[in-house]
Amino acid sequence: MGSADLHRYLATAVLTLGVIHGGMHGFWHAKRKKLAVVGIVIASIIAFALGIFGVPFLNRQKRSVEISYAEKQPEAIVEWQGNKPLVVYFTRMGNSNFEPDVDAVSGASLLISDGEMMGNNQLLAKMICDITGFESEAITLTGEKYPSSYSDTIVVAGDELKEQARPGVEPIDVSEYDSIILVYPLWWGSIPMPVATFLEDNDFDGKTIYLIITQGSSGYGNTISEIEELCPNAKVVPGASIYCEDIPDAGNQLVNLISSWNTGQM
C-alpha cells in the first residue's frame, strides 16, 4: 500500500468515525431512537463512500505525480516471437490545450517523469516499448483539443459520449500488424470518443487487440464490449486495468502480461 492509499484510508476512517461520533451525540437527545440509529448508519455509509471514491477523484484533479523513470523501468526485456504488435495509445497530453510549460497544477492527473510532463497512458506506452522494442503511435486529434483544465475536460468528454461524437484523428496505419496493444484511459466508464474514431477508421478484421486501460477507480467500465462492437471481427483480449497511481510501478506487471500474450497463456 502506497502513502497515497494510506492517506485515503486514514482520511476515510477519520471521516466515518467523525460522523458516527456526531451521530451518537444526536442519538442521546433524539426522541425516536430507532430512527436515529438508521440515520447514523446511512450517514456513516455515505461518509465511507465519499472517502473511498471522493478522495481519489480529488487526487486526480489536484495533483500530478513526480517520478524518476530510470528507477522505475524494469530490467527484464520481452522477446516477442513473430510479427510485433503496434502499441497505440490515447492520452490527454498532446490532445489538450496545455501551455508548453504546463505546470503541476493545470496538468493535474499527469505524471512528471524526470522533469517531463507526460500523460498516464503515454508513460505506459513508453514503458511497453522500452520493455519490448515495439513501435508506438499516439491517437492525436486533428481538430479542437480538450481544455487544459481537468474538470472542463470531464464536461466536454461527457457531452461527446452522450452524442457519440467521433472527433477527427490523425491516420494510423495498422495494416502491416497482426495485433495491436491499445492503451487508453477510462472516460465516463467508456472509451474516449477519439479512440472510437481510431477503431472505426481502421480495419481490424482477423487482428488481435490487446487492451490495457488506466483509470481512477477500477475495472474496464463498458470498454470491452464497446471495442468488440466497433471491431466485430477482431479478437479482443483484456490485459490489465491499471489504477492511475499504480502506473509508475507497473513495469513488472507489463513484463509478465506481455510475455503471457506471446506464449498464449492468457
Ligand X SMILES: Cc1cc2nc3c(=O)[nH]c(=O)nc-3n(C[C@H](O)[C@H](O)[C@H](O)COP(=O)(O)O)c2cc1C
Q: Which residues bind ligand X (CB under 6 A)?
A: 60, 91-92, 109-110, 119-122, 150, 153-154, 157, 185-189, 214-217, 244
The torsion defined by the Cα of 108, 218, 249 and 98, in degrees rounded to 10, comes to -20
Least distance between ligand X and beta carbon 63 (Å): 12
Nearer to ligand X, 202 or 215 (CB): 215
Least distance between ligand X and beta carbon 183 (Å): 8
Beta-ladder partners of 240: 212
Question: Which grid cell is 156?
Answer: 466536454
Task: Please compute, for residue 128, the number of CA atoms within 13 A of its CA located in the half-sphere on the CB side.
Answer: 31
Nearer to ligand X, 19 or 124 (CB): 124
Least distance between ligand X and beta carbon 135 (Å): 19
Residue 263's CB is within 10 A of a number of other CB atoms, namely 8
Contact 252, 74 (CB under 8 A): yes
Nearer to ligand X, 27 or 243 (CB): 243
Nearer to ligand X, 157 or 181 (CB): 157
Nearer to ligand X, 153 or 207 (CB): 153
d(CA 80, CA 260): 10
Helix (H) or strand (E) holding 240: strand 235-243
Least distance between ligand X and beta carbon 158 (Å): 7
Least distance between ligand X and beta carbon 100 (Å): 18
Nearer to ligand X, 150 or 177 (CB): 150
Least distance between ligand X and beta carbon 11 (Å): 19
Nearest in space to 88 (alpha carbons), one of 198, 191, 193, 182? 182
**What amino acid is encoded at 194 in this protein?**
P
Tallying the residues shown for the chain, one arrives at 266
